[in-house]
Structures are given as structure tokens and as C-alpha cells.
């Protein structure tokens, strides 16, 4: 019985240390944006402004719980998300599966800084302002074709938007 207690204690300690390191990694070493779910109303506005159709491949940067991916897939678009929080990746994969959209929507547990933009036609973004210049450079470098970029709340500081609806901005890069 003592060995079981020791094993469980070590396991729990390892789990706690891993969670603390993960939080440190996300918040200090690799900050992006904290998870703040976009309302369904704003998701609808973003997809409408981006003119999402079945011809599109949408990439959601920091896809959170997958609500933008699911909404885009319901419109017939192929939807790809990048999320670094493994708990949100699991949640969004579960929600995508429950919505029976597995063939159209996928979520990757990795940083969007390594995303493949080769097939992407639309990018959705909700990041902190301090990352927008870096993201603009990434998009200009990696996208070798026209992109529609829909930004929620924090516009690119050095780009002129094409259209605006409240705090949602559409850019053509």
C-alpha cells in the first residue's frame, strides 16, 4: 500500500510541476493572447466581413475553443486552427467532432508562428496589439498569394484596413 501512495504522490507532484511550467511557458516565454472567447455575434460579424464561402480555407490564429472554425465549417469552408493551449485543443476537437465537422475543421496543437499559409485564403486574428506588427511581417513573408485577414479588436498599426464593422477590421494582404 505504501508503494501506491508514493507512486500517486510522485505522479501528482510531476503533474503540478508540469502545469506550473506550462503556465510559465505560455505567459512568460511565449506570450500570445490569453483565452478570451469571441461571442457568437462577433464570430458571425467576422465571417460575414471576411465573406467566407465554401471556396475558402480559413486559418484561425489562436483558435481557442474552435468556435470560429466550427462557424466557418458550417458555411462550407475548410477551417484550420492553431492553438498552444492543450486543454483548448482538446475542447475544440471535441466540439468539432460533436458538430460532425471533422472533414472540414482541424485544430493543431502548435504555435501559429510555424503555420502553413500556402492554401489559406482567409486568416482570422484576435491577438494583443504588441504582436500585430510581427504578425503582419509573418503574413507578408509567408503568403505568396492574396489573403483576406479579419482582425477582431486590435488592428494592424501600420496597415490600412479595407473595411471595418465596429471593432472588426478586414485587410487584404
Query: For residue 130, how far is the Cα from the chain centroid?
Result: 17
pLDDT for 29 equals 46
Q: Do 37 and 115 meet the contact criterion of CB atoms below 8 Å apart?
A: no
Best CATH choice for the domain 40-172 from the list 3.40.50.150, 3.40.47.10, 3.40.50.720, 3.10.20.740: 3.40.50.150
Residues 21-57: tens digit of each pLDDT: 666 555 544 555 678 889 999 999 999 999 999 999 9
pLDDT for 32 equals 58
pTM confidence score: 0.81
pLDDT for 77 equals 98
13: Cβ–Cβ under 8 A, 6 or more apart, which residues? none
CA 152, 153, 158, 159 dihedral sign is positive
Segment 155-167 mean pLDDT:
94
pLDDT for 21 equals 66
Amino acid at each position: 500500500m505504501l508503494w501506491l501512495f508514493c507512486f500517486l504522490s510522485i505522479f501528482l507532484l510531476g503533474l503540478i510541476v508540469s502545469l506550473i511550467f506550462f503556465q510559465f511557458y505560455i505567459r512568460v516565454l511565449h506570450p500570445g493572447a490569453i483565452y478570451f472567447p469571441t461571442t457568437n455575434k462577433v464570430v458571425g460579424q467576422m465571417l460575414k466581413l471576411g465573406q467566407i464561402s465554401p471556396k475558402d480555407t480559413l486559418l484561425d490564429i489562436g483558435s481557442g475553443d474552435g468556435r470560429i472554425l466550427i462557424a466557418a465549417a458550417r458555411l462550407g469552408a475548410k477551417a484550420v486552427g492553431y492553438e498552444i493551449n492543450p486543454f483548448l485543443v482538446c475542447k475544440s476537437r471535441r466540439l468539432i467532432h460533436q458538430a460532425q465537422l471533422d472533414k472540414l475543421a482541424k485544430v493543431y496543437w502548435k504555435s501559429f508562428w510555424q503555420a502553413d499559409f500556402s492554401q489559406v485564403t482567409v486568416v482570422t486574428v484576435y491577438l494583443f496589439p504588441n504582436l500585430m506588427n510581427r504578425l503582419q511581417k509573418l503574413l507578408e513573408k509567408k503568403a505568396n498569394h492574396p489573403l483576406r485577414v479579419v482582425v477582431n479588436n486590435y488592428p494592424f498599426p501600420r496597415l490600412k484596413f479595407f473595411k471595418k464593422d465596429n471593432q472588426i477590421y478586414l485587410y487584404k494582404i
